[in-house]
Structure 1
Amino acid sequence: MYKQIFKRVLDVIVSLLMSPFVLIITIICGVAIIIDDGFPVFYVAKRRGIYGSTFNMYKLRSMKNNSPDIRDKDGSTFNNENDFRLTKVGKIIRKLSIDELPQVFNVLIGEMSFVGPRPSLVSREYSELNEFSKKRLEVLPGITGYSQAYFRNSITQEEKIQKDCWYVEHVNFITDVKIVCKTVKSVLSRKNIYKN
């Protein structure tokens, strides 16, 4: 019942309550981004959603305009504290995870949830994905998730997928609350923001 109904109800209520604050922070950060590196304010990324659907995920832009797309060996996004592509404002909003805040609006319109596997890249056709990659798509992707909260960037992409599959099979209110609390602790401690 929670997975099918209450989780979505909670997402809508919390995202509506957060929206005014997110809007204010977005405007303030948006002005800082424009002063630092010009337009655009947002980074719009095509991501894979529930059951293989695709959607546009919004983030505050933290990289310089026309930055190259760099990937790690496992296909995941390159992420490093000394990344030359980050702007001055980008380094700050990345450390504080403020760049993820616009995804609250993705939650509001039903493309994402507050808790779920992080949205995956649209690099292959859905039919080409293995069973584990498809399994993690049985729930809405989240702003934060089990692997994001507990491990962030300290484990491999393959390990993240395995842990996301565990979450899909154990979705419940208590687990989601634990993940949110762990995420807050992780953000405040600033651990594992970047890959080793």
Structure 2
Amino acid sequence: MVKLNRIYTRTGDDGTTGLGDGARRLKTDVRVVAMGSVDEANAALGVARLFAEGAVDALLAQVQNDLFDLGADLAVPDDGQPKSWTPLRLDARRVEALEQAIDLYNGEMEPLSSFILPAGSPLSAHLHLARTIARRAERDCVALTQVAHEVVSPPVTTYLNRLSDLLFVLARHANDQGRADVLWVPGKV
């Protein structure tokens, strides 16, 4: 388990940060940027949870834990070298759990007949914000896969893709199961 006695170490004052394997990377490194976007998505979910209750809150709590696992996965690059420990990798079954939740909550709503605006109830608005941050985290992880010699565990980008779908569905659910969605009206003046 992690034990933090001191919060500041001064080791990042030079513009670098430590990865889970001890390597140091610039804070602008693509891997560090991806990790930061995942962290930001997790923080946005924490704010959304202020408005969530019951099963939705429990689901979001699980997602927050999953995002920590995902961040830990990103923090220890798979460099093909043996390690003295087994790095934590995101379990692909977490993607299946998201898909089941999407099917459950989406099945309770009428199909969309229009694009919707990211608005409505406070929970819906916060879930839409978290959704857009999750999409950025996904883009950042895809960008990381395009860097030579960088490896991203396959479930990572898939999870982030499904997460943004789940957050869209939950945002609609938070708007009276989609009945209070704010519809986009093209060209409205």
Same-fold call, TM cutoff 0.5: no
Greater relative contact order, per chain length (Cα 8 Å cut-off, separation 6+): 2
Q: Which has the higher helix share?
A: 2
Structure that is richer in strand per residue: 1
TM-score (norm 2): 0.28
